[in-house]
Homo-oligomer: A and B are copies of this chain.
Amino acid sequence: MEKTMPKARKRRRRRRDRGSASDTVLKITQPLFNVPPYDLVDAEKLQLIHHKSMQILEEAGIAFYDDEAQAILSRHGVKVVDDIAYFDRGLIMEYIAKAPSQFTWSARNPERDVIIGGKHVCFGPVAGPPYVVDRDHGRRQSTHQDLINFLKLTQLSPYLHSAGSETVVSSDIPIEYRHLELMYAHLIYGDKPVMGVYHTGEIGQDSIELAKIAFGVEAMAQKHYLHCIVNVSSPRRLDDRMLSLMIAYARNNQIINVTPFILSGAMGPVSILGTVAQLNAETLAGIVFAQMIVPGTPSVYGSFQAVIDLQSGAPVFGAPESQLALYLSGQLARHYGLPFRAAGAYASSKIIDAQGGYESVMSMLPSLFAQPNFILHAAGWLEAGLSAGYEKFILDCELLGMYHTYLKGINWDEDEWAMDAILDEVPPGGHHLGTSHTQRHFRSAFYRAEMFDYDSGEGWLAKGAMDVYKRANKTYKQRLQEYEQPPLDPAIEEALRAYIEKTTAD
C-alpha cells in the first residue's frame, strides 16, 4: 500500500497527527454517538432504582448547609428540618423537567463551541492533581509551568474539545490568588471552552468576573461560557462552599454540573444498587436546587464512582463494579432527559505502565457505552487522580482519537459492501490490496494510532526496541515546542491582569 498513497496525503496525515497549532486545532469536530447506548437493565428494573432514590430523597433527605439555599428550597415547597431538605418525588420530577436537555458551551473561539447533550460528546483533560509525573523526572509536585504545559497540550490535541479546569495544581503560587492565575492561564493559552475555578462561591465569582472581561458582559448574560463541577460531599450533603457556588453560577447563566463522588464502601454502600440509588438521589437533589435558583439553568447529571480497596482503604479505579454502576447511571440520565457527565481515562497506577493502560480503557470504554455528553479526566489521569502524567496524556489522546472513529459506527453507504470486489474482482485466495474498491476507499479507511507501534518484531528491535513510554516522552516535548498561542486582543489581556492586580491587592 505504501506506494499507492500519494505524498501530499502522507504529509497531511503526518501534520494532523503531530497536531501543529497552525492547522490541526482547526480540524476539531466533536464526535457524535452514532452507536447505540448500552442498556444494562430493562425499564422495569430502572424504575426500581428510581423509586429507591425517591425514597432516599423523601425519607432521608439531603443536607443543605447554607441559609440562603434553605430559604430558596423552602420558597419552592421543600420541607427543610434541621438543615435537611426532604424532597417530594412530584416536586423532583417537576423541577428536573425545567432543565434543558441540551445546550451550547461557548468558547473564546466560536468555532470551538461544543454542544452538551443529545448525541454529542465532549472530551476534557484531567483536572485537579497536585502531582505530575514524566519519564525524565518521575513524580513531583506540580507547578504553574506544568499547568501551562498541560493547557498547551490540551489546546494542541484535536481530540480534546474543552480545556477543563486546573489540569494540575499550581503549587508554586500562593493559594490566596492561585485561582486567579489559573483562570487567567486558561483564558490565555487556549481558545476551547473552559470550566472556570469552582472551589467556593467567592472563587467562582472571580472566575465569572474574569470571564466577563474576556468574553464581554452581554455575551456572558446570553451564553454559557463557564462550567462548574458541584461536588456533592457524599453521603447526602451539599456544603456552603458548593451551594454559594451554585447560586453564583445559576444567577450568572453558567453551567452547573452536579457530580457526587462516591467510593463504594466509604461514601456509599459496598453494593452497586445501593451506591447507584444514593448517587442518583444526590445528583437529582442538586439539579432540582439549581432549577429552583433560576429555572432553565444548564445542568448536567454527573456520576463519579469508584470502589475502595477493602484491604488498604485506597480508591480503586476501573473496577468491574464501577463499570456496571456506570451503565446504570447512564440509563438514569437518559431516563430523566438530562445531559450526562461521566469519566474518564482513570487509573490507579502511578505511571503509565501496562496497569495504567489496562485501567484507562477499562474506565474509558465502559464510559462510552454509557454515553456521557461530557467526559472530563479523559487524558492524563494517574494515581487515582493525584497525579497527571505527561506521557499518559499523549497516549490517552491517542485513545480518544481512536474513539472518534469508533463512535462514527457503521457506514451504510452502498459502496461499503464492496460487492464488485468480492463478487467479481477477487478470486478465492486472492487479495483486496489492489481492487478498485480499495483504491476508492483506502484514503479514508482505518484510524492509525501514531503512538502505537505496528512494526514487525524485527523492525521494532532494529529501531531500538522503544516502549511506548519512551515514544510518548519524545512526543510530548516535541508538541510543547510546536505550540503557538492563539491570538487575543492585548486590551483584554491587560484588563484581565488589572483585575487580578486589584483583587490580590485588596
Contact = CB atoms under 8 A, between A and B. Distances in A.
Interface in A469-485: 469, 472
Contacts of A41: 410
A334 to B, nearest CB: 16
A51 to B, nearest CB: 10
Contact of A320 (B63, B268, B358, B447): B447
Contacts of A314: 454-456
A165 B139 CA distance: 43
A267 B426 CA distance: 9
Nearest to A62: B428
Contacts of A131: 457
A177 interface: no
A255 interface: no
Contacts of A417: 52, 271, 273-274, 277
Instruction: State the main secondary structure of chain A at its contact with B.
Output: mixed
Interface residues of A, number: 128
> Chain copies in the assembly?
2
Given A269-B435, A453-B350, A308 B1 contact: yes
B265 A445 contact: yes
Nearest to A266: B431
Contacts of A465: 138, 350
Contacts of A349: 452-453, 468
A272 interface: yes
Interface string A381-394: 00110110001100
A429 interface: yes
Interface string A347-383: 0111111111111111001100100000000000001
A451 B328 CA distance: 28
A451 to B, nearest CB: 8
A115 interface: no
Contact of A313 (B1, B320, B360, B409): B1
B437 A274 contact: yes
A328 B456 CA distance: 29
A222 interface: no
B432 A267 contact: yes
A305 interface: no
A482 to B, nearest CB: 22
A324 interface: yes
Nearest to A392: B354
Nearest to A358: B357
Interface in A16-51: 35-36, 38-41, 45
B411 A355 contact: no
A446 B387 contact: no
Interface of A: 1-2, 5, 10, 35-36, 38-41, 45, 52, 55-56, 59-60, 62-63, 83-84, 131, 138-139, 233, 235-237, 264-274, 277-278, 307-316, 319-321, 323-324, 328, 348-362, 365-366, 369, 383-384, 386-387, 391-392, 395, 399, 402-403, 405-406, 409-412, 415-419, 421-423, 426, 428-433, 435, 437-438, 441-442, 445-448, 451-457, 460-461, 465, 467-469, 472
Given A10-B311, A270-B442, A319-B447, 4 more contacts: A1-B310, A266-B431, A355-B467, A365-B365
17 contacts: A2-B312, A36-B38, A38-B369, A41-B410, A55-B419, A62-B428, A266-B433, A269-B421, A271-B418, A274-B418, A274-B422, A316-B454, A319-B402, A352-B354, A358-B452, A361-B362, A383-B456
Shortest 3 CB-CB distances between A and B: which pairs? Answer: A357-B357, A274-B418, A269-B418
